Amino acid sequence: MTPAEIRAAVIDILETIAPDEDLSNLDDAKEFRDQMELDSMDFLDIVMELRKRYRVQVPEEDYENLVSMASTVSYLEPKMAETPAE
Amino acid sequence: MSGLAAGIRAAYYDQKVCVLERHYTIGGLNSFYRLRGRNYDVGLHAVTNFTPPGTRKGPFARLLRQLRMKWDDFGLSPQLMSSISFPGTELLFDNNIDLLRSEVAREFPAQIDNFDRLIDSLVDYDDLEQKHFEVSTRERLEQLIPDPLLIEMILCPIMWYGNPRERDMDWGQFCIMFRSLFLEGFARPFDGVRLILKKLVRKFRDLGGELKLRTGVSKIKVQNGRAIGVVLDSGEELGGENILSSAGAIETFKLCESNDDVHAHTTGQLSFVEAISTLDKFPREFGHDKTIVFFNDSEKFHWERPTEDFCDVRTGVVCTPNNYCYDEKDGDLPDGIMRVTALADYERWRNVDEQQYQSEKQKWFDRVQASATRFVPDYRQHVIDNDMFTPHTIHRFTWHENGAVYGATRKWLDGTTSIKNLFLCGTDQGFVGIIGSIVSGISMANQHLLARS
């Protein structure tokens, strides 16, 4: 997957977790927490959905990389480089 | 319900889940029975924690996100208006805290700033920790509000809807209940709690979960500090990686056959009777338009197990399921219904023979109604059918020791036990009510079944 495809995949996950959020104006550099009503349960769901959909494992000590879209995509890039786009 | 919610979470993330239910139907106390062609709800007066569509915060919004459900799936209609009624003083409230604030300002003008301070000092759901949880609510309230009557009036509905302890309450539990009753609110599905149960079951089964009804667990098998499976009432054994129990803390420990009875003193003592009347009129036709009335007949509210008799009718709750803001297309329920709950002593109700049980039921039905009609219009001439459930009924539906509606007097917030893969969810984990028990199941599944997997 390219970084753009990874970003689209994360958006898709966010839409599943928080269907009422408008993600069209999401600022990639800003923390999710400051832009959306996400709690710790939702962050667990991002991790679990990544595992369920793409078999990507995010160990607990790496959760801090998932704070914003930019950091999430750059963290996932090496892990998902070989993952085929859907 | 907590077990089913936990099952949905685990099954959604591809775990193999089996939910075991002793009863022939699901829902624990949030269930119903059928008598003479009518359905009688056992648990539900109101779904608390109600927030309107589009709300992003709070347990209900969280539950919908976590279970991938829609607001409409719960079919909730908000309450009209409720009250806390003491002799000569009444506080009205609805799902907007402004009404209760204005009522406090009217009845207790000197206390409104203190009441606002109380609201500001409530601990958020996410910040609850065991060590702050068990602080005395009465002491906290006495520091904040130097008016004993207002304290009793605030405690009355909150204790009625979720306090497992006698007389005092854990501050953490108080904060949960205050939020769920007054800052969020009451609602009810037109079709009763059955609708919610059906949706949860369908969701669980669609995700590949297995639900076994009439399948009681008689023992949890433990080997070297790990639970390895359960023995069913039939003698059949089932193995599992992890066990989540919504049977109640003490009830679960007993299933493990550990001789460890250190928690025996935390068994809850509070049980209820409820007098349910079907009427030939809708309550609004004789001037009763409130959803729930919490009443108490003196300035002091006594929240304790009756020691002198089968019931204590000095305080009670009158619930009128007709008085919700239902959709126009649904109209009203088929009949007018009044439900009145009073405190009851499980031991006395348990230790009578069938004949005395029936005669006590009749006697206390009349007393409970007589007590309630001091605070709501007298509806007794309109009653066409009735029934009463007792602590005995509650025990049959929940299997809780003592028929204790709100479970043990302490809560296991993190859900862990001395057995490392056995976890608690539901009433004894700390959240009560329908939304509360579902959230309990979700959070325990997240912490113990998913995050660690």
Residue B267 CB-half CA count within 13 A = 17
| pLDDT bracket for residue B261 (50, 70, 90) | low
Q: Does B299 touch chain A (CB under 8 A)?
A: no
Residue B26 and residue B211 in contact, taking contact as beta carbons nearer than 8 Å: yes
Prediction pTM value:
0.93
Residue B446 and residue A44 in contact, taking contact as beta carbons nearer than 8 Å: yes
Residues B53-109: pLDDT tens digits? 989 889 999 999 999 999 999 999 999 999 999 999 999 999 999 999 999 999 999
Mean pLDDT across the stretch B429-444? Answer: 92
Question: Coil, helix or strand for B3?
Answer: helix
Residue A4 φ/ψ, nearest 5 degrees: -65, -35
ipTM exceeding 0.90? no
Residue of B13, B65, B448 to mutate when probing chain A, most A C-beta within 10 A: B65
A24 CB-near residues (< 8 Å, 6+ apart): none
Nearest CB partner across the interface for A37, out of B57, B126, B446 = B57
Residue B226 and residue B419 in contact, taking contact as beta carbons nearer than 8 Å: yes
Residue B162 φ/ψ, nearest 5 degrees: 175, 25
What CA–CA distances, in Å, run from A60 to A43, B304, B361, B446? 11, 45, 56, 13
What CA–CA distances, in Å, run from B77 to A84, B80, B93, B165? 46, 9, 16, 31
Measured between beta carbons, which residues in chain A are less than 8 angstroms from residue B61?
Answer: 37
Would you state the pLDDT for residue B259?
56
| pLDDT bracket for residue B260 (50, 70, 90) | low
Question: Which chain B residue has the Cα nearest residue A60?
Answer: B451
Nearest CA of chain B to the CA of A70: how many Å? Answer: 24
Interface contact A60-B451, CB threshold 8 A: yes
Nearest CA of chain A to the CA of B56: how many Å? Answer: 6
Angle, CA B10 vertex, CA B124 and CA B131 arms, to 5°? 30
Nearest CB partner across the interface for A18, out of B65, B70, B451 = B65
Question: Which chain A residue has the Cα nearest residue B9?
Answer: A45
Pairing of strands B217-223, B226-232: antiparallel
The number of angstroms, rounded, from the C-alpha of A62 to the middle of its chain's C-alpha atoms is 13
Residues B350-370: pLDDT tens digits? 999 999 999 999 999 999 999
**By C-alpha distance, which of B323, B311, B315, B321 is closest to B44?**
B321
Helices (H), B283-432: 346-350, 354-372, 391-398
Nearest CB partner across the interface for B62, out of A19, A21, A39 = A39
